[in-house]
Every structure is written in structure tokens, then in C-alpha cells.
Structure 1
Amino acid sequence: MTTKILALTNALGSLIRFVLLLGQRHDLQGMDRLLEGVDLQALLGDKAFDADWLKQRLLAQGCQVVIATSPPN
């Protein structure tokens, strides 16, 4: 059995909150719990967090969203 850890940190990298998921779950399944009640100013994530619903929700709250993607071939 594997486990995934979603972590929310501040700009200095200090842990604010974390969520444990079963390893066979997609990272986005823990986002509602991770972001609940948090006034997020920026999200820096990898391509696993490149979901329209998440970006639209955060942009509507005034959050800056940066999603790292794979470089073009």
C-alpha cells in the first residue's frame, strides 16, 4: 500500500497543512480538504494540478496560479 502527501506551505516553505491520500488516488482529490478555509494568494503546482475547475476557482478568489508543465520537445 502506498500513501500520497499533499502539502500546503507558506512562501518560506513552512508547513501550513497536509492531507494524506491513498497512493492510488489522483492528487486533485485532496484539494478541497487542503484548501478549505485558506486564503490562498498563489498556487505553484506541477502538471498534476492543471485542471480547469481548480484554476478557475482560484483565479476567481484572486489567487495567482502557476502550473509547471513539461517543456516542448
Structure 2
Amino acid sequence: MHAHADAQGRPLGFDLTSGEVSDYSGADALIDLPVVTPCRLLADKGYDSDRIRENLLVRGILPIIPPRSNRTEDIPCNFRCSRDRNRIERMFNKLKQFRRIPTRYDKTRKSVLAFLNLAAVKLWRSSFVNRT
């Protein structure tokens, strides 16, 4: 599961790939989601590739991706901005609180995406509730 989230860690869109597929294949689908184009992309080491970095820079998106340990050339990374990725990890944790998602009860792609969208609505709901 790949997710596109805003700066507060709220989900904006999802893309599903099979479990054996690397993160490289899900990056293009996330960037092509019909939401506002971000100014920077926070991702983990699984998305570290030259092709993804070039694709992001062509689109005007600054990649904030820590380099993998087996890289031959040194790639600068803003580790201060990379700490904001914690919000994204917390979003995944909140999504996994819905028991259906981590246990994978739904077998079809359509039903998994539908339930992910329902869980996203529940996460977004707290942003619109009056907390006075």
C-alpha cells in the first residue's frame, strides 16, 4: 500500500501494489494522483532511485529521500525535513488500527481501496469537527 498524504499526515489518496513489488513501482502512481502537486516529497529509503529523483525534479517537486546505504555516490538529503516523515508513519499506524487493513480480509483490489477510503474519511473527520 502506498499513500499520498498532506503536511498534517492526513491521507489524500492510495495506490495498491502486490506484496512482492518494490516501492519504485508505486512512486509514479502516487505522483500522478489528481491532487494538488506538492512542493516536496517525503519518502523512505525504499523510494531512493535516480529515476524517481529525476522524475520528481522534472515535475518541480523536491525529493526528500534519505540515500540507501549501498549508494556509491553521495546524495545530499535534508534530514531536518526528513523528520517530518514521522507524520506519515503515524498516519499508517492510524490506518492499521482498522483491523481489516493489516489482516487483509478483503481480497479484491476494489474492496481494499474502498475500505481504505472509508478509513481516510474517518481520519479526516476530526479536522472538521468543532472542538469547543
TM-score range, shorter chain: 0.7 to 0.9
Q: For 1:1-73, list aligned pairs within 5 A.
A: 5-36=1-32, 37-38=34-35, 39-69=37-67
**Structure having the larger proportion of residues in strand:** 1
Identity %: 31
User: Alpha carbon RMSD of aligned pairs, Å?
Assistant: 1.7
The C-alpha deviation readout for 1:16-51, integer Å capped at 9, x for no partner, is: 111111101111112222211441211111111111
| Aligned CA distance change for structure 1 residues 53 and 69 (closer, same or farther; 3 Å) | closer
TM superposition score normalised by structure 1: 0.77
Unpaired runs of 5+ in structure 1?
Answer: none
4+ residue stretches of structure 1 with deviation over 4 A? none
Hey, which of these two has a bigger chunk of helix by percent?
2
Question: With structure 2 as the length reference, what TM-score do the two structures score?
Answer: 0.46
Q: Highest Rg: 1 or 2? A: 2
